[in-house]
Structure 1
Amino acid sequence: MASIKGQTVEQLGGEGSVLVRQRREHAEMDRLMDRCHLLTDPEEREQTLKEIVQLVFSHAFAEETVLWPLVRRSVPDGEELTARVEEEHQQINDLTSEIERLDPQDPEREEKVRRVFALIRQDIRDEEDQLLPRLQDALGPARLRRLGVAWETVRRSAPTHPHPAVPRRPPGNALLGVPLSAYDRLRDGVRSSTQMVGERAAFASSSGCSAPPQQPPW
């Protein structure tokens, strides 16, 4: 059983395969975490951390809704494998909730960020080395591509922040997660709009111009 990490796109079922989509997003998580470690500007670092959180939680919700139930039905030891990954997801969820409540200047927060990054990297390895290869063995390329479309559809409308009380399995995660997704995405949009207004005002101030009136971000 080979890890999906080193396989070609064709071996993974083609460009639309859920395995290709998963590996691509895992690589983006790794890239963003590496970037976050290197950044020294506090605002850039916070923005990158927000991007990581949004990516990780939408990704995990789609896994738990679309992929892991199929693994439990299709793979002999699927229950054990998914339970381990779900526990990792819960730990990431709980720790990220604590991070979001702490002030960016709090030294405890930085330690929690390091811990959550380590958990995310471990989760990626467990999925790519153990769980996803079992799914690959159980499904053909055409089904992997159909599953990729379903996974992507759910991911695009999934929550983007931690919600520790939401169950890890359907139907509970969908019943609670869908309303929270709308709230998360509204909150993300407000944050982005507020940041844009601030950047425009700072530019206008530095250039000696008055900033044009802005519409409220809600």
Structure 2
Amino acid sequence: MGHGGNVIDELMADHREVEEMFGRMQSMATGGQELRDLIDEVTIELVRHSVAEEQYLYPAVREHIEGGGPMADKEIEDHARVEKMLKQLEKTSTDDAQMSPLLRQLMDEVTAHVRDEETNLFPMLRRACTPQQLDELGDKIRRAKSMAPTRPHPAAPSSPTASKLLAPGAGLVDRARDFMTGRGKS
């Protein structure tokens, strides 16, 4: 959940974590509960990561990077597509014929998003911000992830202000549901 370091180090550690989970998914011989648990784990990580980026990273991109507005908008659109896929995966049985194509689509979308952030956005942000600003953003991202929802909410507003107001409450409800069901504990 929280890796430490500046915002770029924090988010890149999240990216590596999700890539490792995708690798485990690809090596699974069958579906069943083990796959469901791994999908839940990926979902929890991606939702928390996305919420934190929308609350703090993309506003910083708008503020510090020349022409950052359209770049932030594109990243938020990527998140919306991923969140819809996560919601669909949540409702799909692991033995459903649609599971494999859905997982492939999710992996492809997330991989492209990660590549874009790491190749374009992060280097620009590193040049535009001071080390102190990047460290402060890393702290904000870690705090946001600790309170963020753990389940996809594609209809939730993605504006930073609305997210900062609504995400902690949704996160509390999601974590309570996860506790009651044992979701994310494997």
Which of 1 and 2 has greater Rg? 1
Query: Contact 1:64–1:168 at 8 Å: present in 2 too?
Result: yes
Which residues of 2 match residues 51-130 of structure 1 at below 5 A?
51-130=41-120
RMSD between aligned residues? 1.7
Deviations 1:9-65 (A, max 9, x none): xxxxxx611111111110010000010111225222221111111001101100100
Gaps of 5+ in 2: none
Deviations 1:125-176 (A, max 9, x none): 1111111211111111122112111110111111111101112222122233
Query: Contact 1:75–1:138 at 8 Å: present in 2 too?
Result: yes
Q: Distance in 1 between matches of 2:72 and 2:44?
A: 22
Q: Distance in 1 between matches of 2:123 and 2:158?
A: 21
Identity fraction in percent: 27
Worse-matched range after superposition: 138-147 or 89-98: 138-147
Query: Contact 2:147–2:167 at 8 Å: present in 1 too?
Result: no
Worse-matched range after superposition: 173-182 or 115-124: 173-182
When normalised by structure 2's length, the TM-score is 0.91
How far 1:110 moved relative to its partner?
2.2
Give the SS at the match of 1:165.
Answer: coil
Gaps of 5+ in 1: 1-14, 197-218
> Greater relative contact order: 1 or 2 (C-alpha under 8 angstroms, separation 6 or more)?
2
In structure 2, the partner of 1:174 is 164
Query: Contact 1:82–1:131 at 8 Å: present in 2 too?
Result: no
Q: What amino acid maps onto 1:117 in structure 2?
A: M
Give the SS at the match of 1:35.
Answer: helix
How far 1:178 moved relative to its partner?
2.0
Q: Distance in 2 between matches of 1:133 and 1:188?
A: 36
Structure that is richer in helix per residue: 2
Q: Which runs of at least 4 in structure 1 moved beyond 4 Å after TM superposition? A: none
Deviations 1:180-200 (A, max 9, x none): 11111112112228x89xxxx
* Number of positions where the alignment pairs a residue of Structure 1 with one of Structure 2: 181
Q: Distance in 2 between matches of 1:71 and 1:142?
A: 15
Give the SS at the match of 1:171.
Answer: helix
In structure 1, the partner of 2:18 is 29
